[in-house]
């Protein structure tokens, strides 16, 4: 089976790398049995912090990327 290649280049959104590195760090630290559920809880916590007016890790990571 072959997959046609494309000339389209995809860019990683600003702050995405920082967001995933944060998740990876927490997964390695906590060693959860259910990584998907852990990731969902992790991102829910980040969303609640952002909505409460706290730090937005995506915006912060985007500033670091610049």
| pLDDT number for residue 8 | 78
For the chain, the structural domain boundaries read 16-64
Model confidence at 2: pLDDT above 80? no
In angstroms, the CA 22 to CA 43 distance is 10
Token pair for 49: 């912090």
The pLDDT tens digits for 26-41 are 999 999 999 999 999 9
The pLDDT tens digits for 8-64 are 788 888 888 888 999 999 999 999 999 999 999 999 998 888 888 877 777 776 776
The larger pLDDT score, comparing residue 13 to residue 5, is at 13
| pLDDT number for residue 65 | 63
């Amino acid at each position: 089976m072959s997959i046609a290649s494309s000339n389209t280049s995809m860019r990683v959104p600003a702050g995405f790398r920082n967001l995933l590195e944060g998740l990876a760090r927490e997964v390695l630290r906590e060693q959860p049995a259910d990584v998907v559920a852990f990731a969902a809880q992790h991102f829910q916590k980040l969303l609640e912090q952002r909505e409460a007016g706290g730090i937005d890790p995506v915006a912060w990571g985007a500033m670091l990327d610049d």
